[in-house]
Every structure is written in structure tokens, then in C-alpha cells.
Amino acid sequence: MDLSDLRRDYADRGLHRDELAGDPLQQFARWFDQAREHGVHEPNAMSLATVDTDGRPLQRTVLLKYFGAEGFVFFTNYASRKAAHIAANPAVCLLFPWLTLERQVIIQGRAEKITAGESLKYFASRPRESQLGAWVSEQSSVISSRQLLKQKLAEIRRKFSDGEVPLPSFWGGYRVVPESIEFWQGGPARLHDRFLYTRGSDGSDGSDGSDGSDGGGEGWRIERLSP
């Protein structure tokens, strides 16, 4: 199948340096709010890339549950394949593909487990069926049939029928602490706008502006990248 002619030109929305927040988390919050306002389907869906012990990459889609100055948080089974990868190499990459806005955000950083208390707080806010589901699935393990999952779900329902569903010891959250964040805005004639925030190695902005980059505040350096 030849897809070489499958292309479209992007609108001239543009992204200018003076429009950017000095802190990339603030800039991400702006774009995330705009994605929600424009009806982007599941704007918190993000691709998570990890590597195994042999250096082979693997991607999957997970849901961002909250974010703040410390980083981006998602939840999973701690016995899953992604968790095994993170245990061996915590360097990860996140991708938010907001295609209807002709935007994407790429985040590189390190994943670390959040506290049990933080995981419990989120777990308690989940619908009961989602809580039960966390107990049922041995994520990434091979199973013989879907019927087995349904049987296990019925067993878990009976087990916790008289009270609250407790937090499984094997389930919780990870926070991706960003080291760089790139904001990409599609443009006409493939002249896209790309701005990369990176942390200054000494906590400073890392630039005097002479090389086409400048300080973004809070120890972040901002550079425009060629498309």
C-alpha cells in the first residue's frame, strides 16, 4: 500500500516565543485546557515509551491522571511489563498527540513511584468497578481466555461485597519528572514551530540568548528547533 500521497497541509496557527510561558508545566496546562475546550477526544491519553533490559523500546497508551510542578502521574499494575522496564531503566518518554489542533507534546524524563498514600487517595476516587478490575488483572501475563477474567471478577466481587475495596499492594502510580518538554505546532509548507524546554544543568536558565535560545525561568532553557 503506497501512502506517499496521503498528506495534508497544516493551518497557519503558528507558535511564537513571546506566547510561551517561562515554565513548561504552565505551558502544558494552557495547551491541555485548549485541547479540552476544542473537544479533543481523551486529551489525557498519552503514549508511554519504555525500554527493556535489552534496549528494545515498547510503547503503549496510558491515561494521565494529574500533573503539577513535580511532574505527570499515571497508574498501573506494578507487576506489569511497563513497570519491569521502569525498574530496570526509569528513563521514559511521553507523547500527547493532539492531532485535531495540529499539536503534539513530547516529554522526556524519569519515572518514579509515588507514595502509597498518594496512590490510595486516587484509588479511593475510582468507580467501584475500576477498583475491582485492578484486583482481577495480572497485567501483561498470558491468559487462556476472557472467561477466566470474568470468573476472577465474580470472585473479587464476592470477596469485597460487604465493604470498601482496598488498595492492592501491587497497584499504584508513577510520576514522570520531566527533564525536557517539546511543544510542536504544525505549520504550512512543513514549516512547523517547535520549542524545546530543557532544565539548566546548574539550575540557571542556561543561556545568554546569543545562540537563538533564552532562559525560560525556574531553571528552564527554551530553544527553537528546526522543523
For 120, phi and psi rounded to 5 degrees? -60, -40
Apex 177 CA angle, 106 and 30, nearest 5 = 55
Known catalytic membership, residue 190: yes
Cell numbers that stand for 41 in this block? 477526544
For residue 206, what are the CA distances in angstroms to 26, 199, 215? 19, 8, 6
Q: Of 13, 36, 128, 190, which one is the catalytic site residue?
A: 190
- Distance, in Å, from the CA atom of 137 to the CA atom of 77, rounded to the nearest integer, reads 8
> Residue holding cell 512543513?
190
Answer yes or no: are the C-beta atoms of 107 and 177 closer than 8 Å: no
Question: Hey, which residues does 100 pair with through a beta bridge?
Answer: none
The amino acid at 5: D
Residues with a known catalytic role: 190
